[in-house]
């Protein structure tokens, strides 16, 4: 097993979850678009993206709009 290398203080982002959270907080008035974009810029670790293996990120990017439409239509 490889050694676990945790680094404290690293901002981690799951874009699909983060978009949903942003939408809810933005609609509630507790988070602005600029604040959210700054948090994305600060991120150094991404749940679906790795430069050496972009396929999971591409798949997630293709599924995200469909998920958003299902949520907006009340189907999810």
Per-residue confidence in pLDDT tens, the chain, 76 aa: 788 777 787 777 777 678 888 888 999 999 999 998 888 887 777 676 677 778 877 887 787 777 777 777 777 6
Q: What pLDDT, on a 0 to 100 scale, did the predictor assign at position 65?
A: 77
Indicate the burial class of 72 (C-beta count within 10 angstroms; 0-12, 13-18, 19 or more): exposed
pLDDT at residue 6 in the model: 75
Angle at which helices 15-27 and 33-42 pack, to 10 degrees? 160
Q: Other C-beta atoms within 10 Å of 70: how many? A: 11
Q: What is the pLDDT of residue 76?
A: 61
């Amino acid at each position: 097993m490889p050694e676990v290398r945790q680094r404290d203080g690293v901002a981690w982002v799951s874009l699909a979850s983060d978009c949903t959270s942003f939408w809810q907080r933005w609609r509630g008035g507790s988070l602005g678009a600029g604040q959210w974009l700054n948090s994305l810029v600060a991120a150094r670790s991404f749940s679906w993206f790795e430069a050496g293996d972009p396929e999971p990120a591409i798949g997630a990017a293709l599924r995200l709009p469909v998920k958003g439409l299902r949520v907006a239509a009340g189907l999810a």
